[in-house]
Chains A and B, each alone.
Chain A
Amino acid sequence: AQTVTQSQPEMSVQEAETVTLSCTYDTSESDYYLFWYKQPPSRQMILVIRQEAYKQQNATENRFSVNFQKAAKSFSLKISDSQLGDAAMYFCAYKSGYALNFGKGTSLLVTP
Protein backbone atom coordinates (compact mmCIF):
# COMPACT_ATOMS: atom_id res chain seq x y z
CA ALA A 1 0.00 0.00 0.00
CA GLN A 2 1.11 3.48 -0.74
CA THR A 3 1.59 5.96 2.08
CA VAL A 4 1.95 9.71 1.99
CA THR A 5 3.63 11.55 4.85
CA GLN A 6 3.49 15.25 5.60
CA SER A 7 5.76 15.85 8.55
CA GLN A 8 4.78 19.47 9.19
CA PRO A 9 1.35 19.79 10.83
CA GLU A 10 1.64 23.59 10.81
CA MET A 11 3.74 26.16 9.01
CA SER A 12 3.84 29.92 9.16
CA VAL A 13 5.09 32.43 6.60
CA GLN A 14 5.10 36.19 6.32
CA GLU A 15 3.36 37.84 3.45
CA ALA A 16 5.62 38.14 0.38
CA GLU A 17 8.04 35.54 1.72
CA THR A 18 8.67 32.00 0.47
CA VAL A 19 7.66 28.80 2.23
CA THR A 20 8.27 25.14 1.45
CA LEU A 21 5.91 22.34 2.48
CA SER A 22 7.33 18.83 2.68
CA CYS A 23 5.89 15.55 1.48
CA THR A 24 7.31 12.06 1.19
CA TYR A 25 5.65 8.97 -0.16
CA ASP A 26 6.26 5.28 -0.34
CA THR A 27 5.49 3.21 -3.42
CA SER A 28 6.79 0.38 -5.54
CA GLU A 29 5.01 1.66 -8.65
CA SER A 30 6.89 3.33 -11.48
CA ASP A 31 3.97 5.16 -13.07
CA TYR A 32 2.08 7.55 -10.82
CA TYR A 33 1.03 11.13 -10.30
CA LEU A 34 1.58 13.46 -7.39
CA PHE A 35 -0.61 16.39 -6.43
CA TRP A 36 -0.85 19.26 -4.02
CA TYR A 37 -4.36 20.29 -3.04
CA LYS A 38 -5.38 23.38 -1.10
CA GLN A 39 -8.35 23.29 1.26
CA PRO A 40 -9.51 26.68 2.59
CA PRO A 41 -12.11 26.96 5.38
CA SER A 42 -14.83 26.61 2.75
CA ARG A 43 -13.77 22.90 2.56
CA GLN A 44 -13.49 23.01 -1.23
CA MET A 45 -10.44 21.00 -2.31
CA ILE A 46 -8.60 22.93 -5.01
CA LEU A 47 -5.87 21.43 -7.15
CA VAL A 48 -2.74 23.55 -6.86
CA ILE A 49 -0.23 21.61 -8.92
CA ARG A 50 0.41 18.13 -10.32
CA GLN A 51 3.50 16.19 -11.30
CA GLU A 52 3.77 13.13 -13.52
CA ALA A 53 6.37 10.73 -12.19
CA TYR A 54 7.87 10.08 -15.62
CA LYS A 55 8.68 13.77 -16.08
CA GLN A 56 12.01 14.89 -14.73
CA GLN A 57 11.17 18.57 -14.99
CA ASN A 58 9.58 20.05 -11.90
CA ALA A 59 6.07 21.40 -12.38
CA THR A 60 5.40 25.11 -11.95
CA GLU A 61 2.15 27.05 -11.73
CA ASN A 62 2.70 30.78 -11.26
CA ARG A 63 3.88 31.25 -7.66
CA PHE A 64 3.72 27.52 -6.92
CA SER A 65 6.45 25.08 -7.82
CA VAL A 66 7.50 21.63 -6.74
CA ASN A 67 10.80 19.92 -6.03
CA PHE A 68 10.28 16.34 -7.17
CA GLN A 69 13.01 13.92 -6.14
CA LYS A 70 11.88 10.55 -7.48
CA ALA A 71 14.70 8.48 -6.05
CA ALA A 72 14.19 9.99 -2.62
CA LYS A 73 10.39 9.78 -2.99
CA SER A 74 10.08 13.40 -2.02
CA PHE A 75 7.64 15.97 -3.38
CA SER A 76 7.82 19.40 -1.74
CA LEU A 77 5.75 22.46 -2.58
CA LYS A 78 7.29 25.92 -2.72
CA ILE A 79 5.06 28.96 -2.49
CA SER A 80 6.75 32.18 -3.52
CA ASP A 81 5.58 35.70 -2.71
CA SER A 82 3.07 34.33 -0.20
CA GLN A 83 -0.30 36.05 -0.07
CA LEU A 84 -2.94 36.17 2.67
CA GLY A 85 -5.19 34.12 0.41
CA ASP A 86 -2.71 31.26 0.48
CA ALA A 87 -3.66 30.49 4.08
CA ALA A 88 -5.27 27.04 4.07
CA MET A 89 -4.68 23.35 4.66
CA TYR A 90 -2.42 21.84 2.04
CA PHE A 91 -2.62 18.16 1.21
CA CYS A 92 -0.10 16.12 -0.71
CA ALA A 93 -1.64 13.24 -2.67
CA TYR A 94 -0.46 10.24 -4.66
CA LYS A 95 -2.30 8.45 -7.45
CA SER A 96 -1.29 5.30 -9.30
CA GLY A 97 -4.73 3.85 -9.91
CA TYR A 98 -7.94 5.79 -9.68
CA ALA A 99 -8.18 6.73 -6.01
CA LEU A 100 -6.10 9.45 -4.41
CA ASN A 101 -4.00 8.69 -1.32
CA PHE A 102 -3.64 11.77 0.85
CA GLY A 103 -1.27 12.86 3.55
CA LYS A 104 -2.66 14.33 6.77
CA GLY A 105 -2.09 17.88 5.65
CA THR A 106 -0.13 20.96 6.62
CA SER A 107 -1.91 24.03 7.96
CA LEU A 108 -0.35 27.15 6.46
CA LEU A 109 -0.69 30.45 8.29
CA VAL A 110 0.19 33.64 6.43
CA THR A 111 0.95 36.67 8.59
CA PRO A 112 0.86 40.29 7.38
Chain B
Amino acid sequence: GAGVSQSPSNKVTEKGKDVELRCDPISGHTALYWYRQSLGQGLEFLIYFQGNSAPDKSGLPSDRFSAERTGGSVSTLTIQRTQQEDSAVYLCASSFDRGINYEQYFGPGTRLTVT
Protein backbone atom coordinates (compact mmCIF):
# COMPACT_ATOMS: atom_id res chain seq x y z
CA GLY B 1 0.00 0.00 0.00
CA ALA B 2 0.92 3.67 -0.14
CA GLY B 3 3.35 5.01 2.40
CA VAL B 4 3.42 8.35 4.16
CA SER B 5 3.50 11.20 1.68
CA GLN B 6 4.54 14.80 2.23
CA SER B 7 4.26 17.92 0.15
CA PRO B 8 5.93 19.96 -1.05
CA SER B 9 9.20 18.09 -1.36
CA ASN B 10 11.14 21.33 -1.20
CA LYS B 11 10.08 24.81 -0.21
CA VAL B 12 12.03 28.05 -0.43
CA THR B 13 10.51 31.04 1.29
CA GLU B 14 11.52 34.52 2.29
CA LYS B 15 12.06 35.41 5.92
CA GLY B 16 8.83 36.61 7.48
CA LYS B 17 6.49 34.66 5.22
CA ASP B 18 4.15 31.90 6.43
CA VAL B 19 4.47 28.34 5.14
CA GLU B 20 2.29 25.24 5.26
CA LEU B 21 3.65 21.72 5.08
CA ARG B 22 1.35 18.79 4.42
CA CYS B 23 1.43 15.17 5.54
CA ASP B 24 -0.74 12.29 4.36
CA PRO B 25 -0.34 9.34 6.74
CA ILE B 26 -0.79 5.69 5.91
CA SER B 27 -4.48 4.83 5.71
CA GLY B 28 -5.75 3.43 9.00
CA HIS B 29 -2.92 4.84 11.10
CA THR B 30 -4.31 6.71 14.09
CA ALA B 31 -1.07 8.25 15.34
CA LEU B 32 0.80 10.98 13.48
CA TYR B 33 4.06 12.69 14.39
CA TRP B 34 6.06 15.66 13.14
CA TYR B 35 9.84 15.83 13.57
CA ARG B 36 12.40 18.43 12.53
CA GLN B 37 15.88 17.60 11.28
CA SER B 38 18.23 20.56 11.29
CA LEU B 39 21.61 20.44 9.56
CA GLY B 40 23.99 18.20 11.47
CA GLN B 41 21.38 17.36 14.10
CA GLY B 42 19.29 14.34 14.83
CA LEU B 43 15.56 14.42 14.59
CA GLU B 44 13.72 16.61 17.06
CA PHE B 45 10.14 15.77 18.06
CA LEU B 46 7.66 18.58 17.39
CA ILE B 47 4.07 17.41 17.83
CA TYR B 48 1.98 14.25 18.08
CA PHE B 49 -1.64 13.47 17.21
CA GLN B 50 -3.58 10.41 18.35
CA GLY B 51 -7.07 9.93 16.94
CA ASN B 52 -9.39 12.67 18.14
CA SER B 53 -7.43 13.38 21.31
CA ALA B 54 -5.82 16.74 21.98
CA PRO B 55 -2.36 16.82 20.40
CA ASP B 56 0.87 16.82 22.38
CA LYS B 57 2.50 20.10 21.37
CA SER B 58 5.34 19.90 23.87
CA GLY B 59 8.04 19.82 21.19
CA LEU B 60 7.00 22.91 19.26
CA PRO B 61 9.90 25.40 19.49
CA SER B 62 7.83 28.59 19.52
CA ASP B 63 4.28 29.88 19.15
CA ARG B 64 5.02 30.55 15.48
CA PHE B 65 4.60 26.82 14.96
CA SER B 66 1.20 25.17 14.88
CA ALA B 67 -0.31 22.02 13.43
CA GLU B 68 -3.69 20.52 12.84
CA ARG B 69 -5.03 17.20 11.74
CA THR B 70 -8.33 17.17 9.91
CA GLY B 71 -10.67 14.20 10.07
CA GLY B 72 -8.05 12.13 11.81
CA SER B 73 -6.05 11.86 8.59
CA VAL B 74 -4.17 14.64 6.77
CA SER B 75 -2.04 16.97 8.88
CA THR B 76 -0.72 20.45 8.16
CA LEU B 77 2.23 22.04 9.95
CA THR B 78 2.18 25.82 9.74
CA ILE B 79 5.12 28.08 10.46
CA GLN B 80 4.29 31.76 10.72
CA ARG B 81 6.74 34.60 10.17
CA THR B 82 9.50 32.19 9.18
CA GLN B 83 13.04 32.78 10.41
CA GLN B 84 16.32 31.51 8.99
CA GLU B 85 16.72 29.12 11.90
CA ASP B 86 13.53 27.39 10.74
CA SER B 87 15.46 26.03 7.75
CA ALA B 88 15.43 22.26 8.14
CA VAL B 89 13.90 19.06 6.87
CA TYR B 90 10.46 18.45 8.36
CA LEU B 91 9.59 14.78 8.60
CA CYS B 92 6.20 13.30 9.24
CA ALA B 93 5.59 9.78 10.54
CA SER B 94 2.54 7.68 11.27
CA SER B 95 1.88 4.51 13.22
CA PHE B 96 -1.06 2.19 13.63
CA ASP B 97 -1.41 3.18 17.25
CA ARG B 98 0.55 5.08 19.83
CA GLY B 99 1.78 2.15 21.89
CA ILE B 100 5.46 1.75 22.55
CA ASN B 101 5.70 -1.28 20.29
CA TYR B 102 4.15 0.26 17.18
CA GLU B 103 6.57 1.11 14.38
CA GLN B 104 6.63 4.63 13.02
CA TYR B 105 6.71 4.91 9.23
CA PHE B 106 8.31 8.05 7.89
CA GLY B 107 7.58 10.17 4.86
CA PRO B 108 10.29 11.61 2.59
CA GLY B 109 10.19 14.97 4.32
CA THR B 110 9.92 18.58 3.22
CA ARG B 111 13.14 20.55 2.96
CA LEU B 112 12.41 24.12 4.02
CA THR B 113 14.86 26.87 3.16
CA VAL B 114 14.27 30.35 4.56
CA THR B 115 16.23 33.05 2.72
* Total cross-chain contacts (CB, 8 A): 59
A64 to chain B, nearest CB (A): 16
A93 to chain B, nearest CB (A): 8
Give chain B's interface residue range (CB within 8 Å of chain A).
20 to 34
Which residues of B34-62 are within 8 A (CB) of A? Answer: 35, 40-45, 48, 50, 56, 59
**Which of A11-19, A42-50, A69-77, A79-87 touches B?**
A42-50
Contacting residue for B45 out of A37, A96, A101, CB 8 A: A101
**Which of B20-28, B79-87, B98-106 touches A?**
B98-106
In this assembly, does A31 line the interface, its C-beta being within 8 Å of a C-beta of chain B?
yes
A77 to chain B, nearest CB (A): 15
In this assembly, does B89 line the interface, its C-beta being within 8 Å of a C-beta of chain A?
yes
In this assembly, does B72 line the interface, its C-beta being within 8 Å of a C-beta of chain A?
no
**With A43-B89, A98-B50, A99-B59 in contact, is A50–B43 under 8 Å at CB?**
no
In this assembly, does B65 line the interface, its C-beta being within 8 Å of a C-beta of chain A?
no
Can you give 12 A-B contacts (C-beta < 8 A)?
Answer: A43-B89, A44-B106, A44-B107, A44-B108, A47-B103, A91-B42, A93-B43, A95-B100, A98-B50, A100-B33, A100-B43, A103-B42
